[in-house]
Structure 1
């Protein structure tokens, strides 16, 4: 009987790590990342969010399926502003302002967060509900991003849609936060994403406002 009890104890102890992992995954997947501020993350994730924080300007190319079922591209100038919920949060709000060069523009609010387990960035546009992934490990035409103090480029991959948003942006303002991390050097260049050297191809697509 004693040997049987010891065997059961070993089985329970062996199962505990899997139980904890499952609970952790359930908690993570169930967290309201877009609307509920999250602060207790890794320093690398916080540094990424702090580097992202601010206003960026440049060019974007949208690729999507038009009403005739044909893949189509449009392009325009755009500003992106990312705002952390707090200086040490890995999520926040923001807005994208697109310009077509004729005086017309549109402003699209969004919410965003950094996945502290992978370094990926997720964006959800408030009005349409469209969600996009910026893959930290991607390094191809249709996946990946590169972010440092002054430049941000790559592609946003549609999660609940079939669109891609290619972007090449330069910082307008906002890079001052990373010195708030204890182990960070505010004068150093920091970089995120494995899409280093991603070549942004300026498309010959028509200049139009594409609503997301």
Structure 2
């Protein structure tokens, strides 16, 4: 049996009044001896530290701190046992790859897809949380900053499903980074974004009500909003964003605060839970 770290053993000794359950308690993993099962051991110890549970990121970081030699399969089993999820891997399985056909003008006659691309086109601004695995500590960390994103259709074509854009991120100190990207609306309504410098590709799931996105008119606010989650398909990075359409400088511009005349919306997300993920985020910028 692999042992937990000396640090955690010390913590366990200090907290000796909170004794482990007996070897007869194998309800979590029937048929396994509790003391011979790393996952069951981790679950029990986790609830000793977090009796009411914790955030997904906190659980992940706790596990890799005290069980650094665990296999990936054991990490996954632990997260499943506590009702968590390694959600950043859901779209990292080879089924969500960047389609190079959209690297140039790609026109379509699909009215719904075209309307989605036209609605996305324009300027958006608000808050963003960038979650990633730190290279040195291997822990999940989150950065929060103000983001301004401008989406342009290729060749200014109203029939194009893709284009390019620029994102300007600003932290609390006023530091900025400018990122160029390409984007397109896929045939299933998913939105893909590829950052030019890093090559990181993100997908926004149009069908997921939990981890998808909302794009377009928001009745409660009376204007267009763009919020949701973007999962990297070639890294473990996750972007969560809460943006609103910006009024163009020119009154004659084709983009207005509410661009879609029919107040169209796209994506399956119904609830904006951005605030939940910004709680533990640090206001800083991370190069990507």
Q: TM-score range by the shorter chain?
A: 0.7 to 0.9
What is the aligned partner in structure 2 of residue 159 from structure 1?
Answer: 233
Contact 2:145 2:169 in 1 (8 A): yes
Higher strand share: 1
Which ranges in structure 1 are unaligned for 5 or more consecutive residues?
1-28, 179-184
What is the aligned partner in structure 1 of residue 180 from structure 2?
Answer: 109
Deviations along 1:129-187, whole A, 9 cap, x unmatched?
A: 000000001122xx200000410000110100101000000001468469xxxxxx953
Higher helix share: 2
C-alpha separation between the residues in 2 aligned to 1:152 and 1:99? 18
Deviation at 1:69, TM superposition (A): 0.5
Contact 1:145 1:195 in 2 (8 A): yes
The TM-score with structure 2 as length reference comes to 0.57
What is the aligned partner in structure 2 of residue 129 from structure 1?
Answer: 199
Contact 1:176 1:186 in 2 (8 A): no
For the pair 1:73 / 2:142, whether they are aligned, the reply is yes
Judging changes above 3 Å, is the alpha-carbon distance between structure 1 residues 188 and 176 closer, same or farther for their aligned structure 2 residues? farther
Secondary structure in 1 matching 2:118: helix
Q: Which has the higher contact order (CA 8 A, sep 6+)?
A: 1
Deviation at 1:196, TM superposition (A): 1.7
Secondary structure in 1 matching 2:108: coil
Answer with 1 or 2: which has the greater Rg: 2
The root-mean-square deviation of aligned C-alpha atoms, in Å, is 2.2
C-alpha separation between the residues in 2 aligned to 1:30 and 1:102? 34
The TM-score with structure 1 as length reference comes to 0.77
Contact 1:63 1:71 in 2 (8 A): yes
Secondary structure in 2 matching 1:60: strand
Contact 1:56 1:173 in 2 (8 A): no
What is the aligned partner in structure 1 of residue 165 from structure 2?
Answer: 94
Deviation at 1:112, TM superposition (A): 0.4
For the pair 1:138 / 2:208, whether they are aligned, the reply is yes
